[in-house]
Amino acid sequence: MASLTPFEGALGLRLAKHLLRRATFNISQQRIDEFELYTVDQALAVLLTPSQKNLNQPIHYVNGALTQPRPWINDDPDYGAVNENNSSGGQRLNNFLDGWWMDEARRDTSLRSKMTYFLFTNLTAPQKDNGKSSYYYDYLMLLEHFCLSDWKELIFQVSINPRMLEFLNNDLNTKGLVNENYARELLELYTIGVGKPIYIDDNGNVGFDGDPLNYSEIIDIPRVARILTGWRFDKNDRPGMPLNGTANGNLPTGYALPDEHDFDAKQLSEYFDDYQIDAFDTTAKSESQKKAQMESELRGLIDKILEQDETAKYICRKLYRFFVSRNISTEIEADIIIPLAATFRANYNLTEVITQLLKSQHFYDADDTNSSDEIIGGLIKSPLELVLQTITLLNFPVPDPITQGELHYKVFYENTIIKKFLDISAQPIFGDTNTPPAGFPAHYSSPNFDKSWFNSSTIIPRYNICKIVFFKGNFGFSPGDFIKEVVPNPSDPEEIVDVLTDMMFPETPSQERKQYFIDTFLFDGGSLLQEGDAKYYYWNSLWADYLGGIKENTVHSILESLIEALIWSQEYQTT
């Protein structure tokens, strides 16, 4: 029976790898060695402690007339005042922002980056091409600020956030000319979800009995839209925008414009217990009183939506598919989703719900007699996970953003990872003009979900990731140095493959599988193997020469082939 009962005992190698892969973008031999000694409580204590950032925002490198690194978004204690005229040959701040976020995510030893990205998949407001990137930075910082805290407050803050107001046109929503875009997505995608499932079969398919909606299309959406009228933001003066308060990240936010708000009575449908907002007589009311009424109406709406049982269940299903498995059977619904939703609904605290999930026997596939049938290795890595986790596993020498700024932002992240890998792997990191409010199909499209990452269009860049990114030669990655770092005795081919597969694969492969990598990629299909005890003589001799400063290219070429084959493997492509 699927169980949220906490897992007991030390994690060990297998479960330490599993937890790190699912909870972070940062997995390395050192972290695996550290976590395999931890209990689940000890591991979660580390993951729930936000790590120190390298940089708090993108910093433009020295270039042209810019004689020192300068911040592009906010004044910075280390790099001085904002310089909005930073120039880098027409490069958009969007790509600086994406590169900065990825660099911080691959360094992040906590849950923060994975949870922030989960919230992006739930509250998707994609990045706007040629838009104000500073507004998108504020949106990411809002998600980050709430990633392990109050999801209810986050829904309110997102609803009045400039990027979301712009994306779903709620900045155009006014009394007498109601725009329903945000009202629809608030219900359908961001909170309660479109359907009330009666059953979910073992393939994850949802079945409905009669009316599949959790709300009324003809009553609730228009009336929710009326509640949402009159919220605006300043499109041209970010420094002059109001801030949302220290408790909420002190970030630029939208504001209430009472002249554009519908203060008449609004009543929702029976789906929301006929929730009523009485008419508000604005006669002789001050502007502050009117604004307070607008906020009260919006907060009351959110409270009512979140009172419904289905809201917590809907979000917990998203959490489950993001962190655990695409498959939600009737058993999982009853034994995992419903009790997890009860925890979440108590106060909508994200730390409490993710802690319960990541501590559970079920997360570690330890709640039945078959411990390798469902969870571990059961999801396909997203392109973002694939590239960032490989960077950390290989201890790849990412150029420094300050001393090697152009190589870091423009060459490595923008031109290599973003344009040559993520964009053509169907995961522009924070979306683009073609990304719908639902986000990427892998996060919502049943029954494939994460299988959507792997198709005829994306398979080529996934399999070319080493040639595209890691073996290009511009960044100084040395396969030999990497092997010396992680393998105690690199002259032994079996030890090389043992160490690498222990690091990279969810499960320990068979001896036959390991021998395949040894024979094929270290010994040219087995043609270079010797007889008897000296069967590995060729590699022993080659490695000795390499340590003596000769045959470096040969060793690097062989190790590149081995590393590439391991990355190509089905085992590594899953998580």
The pTM of this model reads 0.94
Q: Which of 8-17, 103-112, 233-242, 416-425 has the lowest mean pLDDT?
A: 233-242
Of 109-123, 128-142, 232-246, the one with minimum mean pLDDT is 128-142
Q: Do residues 111 and 80 touch, judged by C-beta distance below 8 A?
A: no
**Residue 27: CA count within 13 A, CB half-sphere:** 30
Looking at residue 159, its pLDDT comes to 98
Q: Please state, rounded to an integer, the average pLDDT across all residues of the chain.
A: 91
Q: Which of 60-74, 80-94, 188-202, 558-572 shows the lowest per-residue confidence on average (mean pLDDT)?
A: 80-94
Instruction: Over range 74-85, report the average pLDDT.
Output: 87
Residue 342 has pLDDT above 60, yes or no: yes
Q: What is the pLDDT at residue 508?
A: 94
Q: Kindly state the percentage of the chain with pLDDT values over 70.
A: 92
What distance in Å separates the CA atoms of residue 179 and residue 112, rounded to the nearest whole number?
A: 34
pLDDT at 91: 45
Q: What is the mean pLDDT of residues 116-144?
A: 90
**Residue ranges per structural domain of the chain:** 166-307, 383-402+411-573
Mean of pLDDT values over 64-91? 78
329 pLDDT more than 70: yes
pLDDT of residue 64: 74
**Rounded distance between C-alpha atoms, residue 95 and residue 25, angstroms:** 19
CA distance 308 to 89: 51
Indicate if the pLDDT at residue 133 is higher than 80: no
Q: How far is CA 57 from CA 65, 74, 76, 131, in A?
A: 21, 8, 8, 17
Mean pLDDT of 229-238: 92
Confidence of residue 239 (pLDDT cuts 50, 70, 90): confident
Confidence of residue 89 (pLDDT cuts 50, 70, 90): very low
- Our CA dihedral for 377, 383, 387, 393, rounded to 10 degrees, sits at -10
Residue 63: which pLDDT band, with cuts at 50, 70 and 90? confident
Average pLDDT for residues 284-305, to the nearest whole number? 98
- pLDDT for the residue 209: 47
pLDDT band at 409 (very low <50, low <70, confident <90, very high): very high
Confidence of residue 90 (pLDDT cuts 50, 70, 90): very low
Residue 530 confidence (pLDDT) above 80: no
The answer to whether the CB of 183 falls within 8 A of the CB of 196 is no
pLDDT at 31 over 50: yes
pLDDT band at 488; cut points 50, 70, 90: very high
Q: Directed axis angle between helix 537-547 and helix 552-568, to 10°?
A: 120
**pLDDT-wise least confident of 29-38, 343-352, 370-379, 536-545:** 370-379
Per mean pLDDT, which range of 391-405, 419-433, 531-545 is the poorest? 531-545
Which helix (H) or strand (E) covers residue 232, if one does?
Answer: strand 231-232
| CA proximity to 220, closest of 156, 293, 274 | 274
Q: Pick the more confident residue, 164 or 367.
A: 164
Q: If 0-12 CB within 10 Å is exposed, 13-18 middle and 19+ buried, where does residue 472 land?
A: middle
198 pLDDT above the threshold of 70: no
What's the rounded mean pLDDT across residues 251-255? 97
- Model pLDDT for residues 465-483, shown as the tens digit of each residue: 999 999 987 888 999 999 9
- Band the pLDDT of 85: cuts 50, 70, 90: low
The arithmetic mean of pLDDT across residues 215-229, rounded, is: 96
Task: Tell me the Ramachandran region of residue 115: left when phi exceeds 0, alpha when psi lies from -120 to 50, beta otherwise.
Answer: alpha
- Angle, to 10 degrees, between the axis of helix 40-47 and the axis of helix 350-359? 140
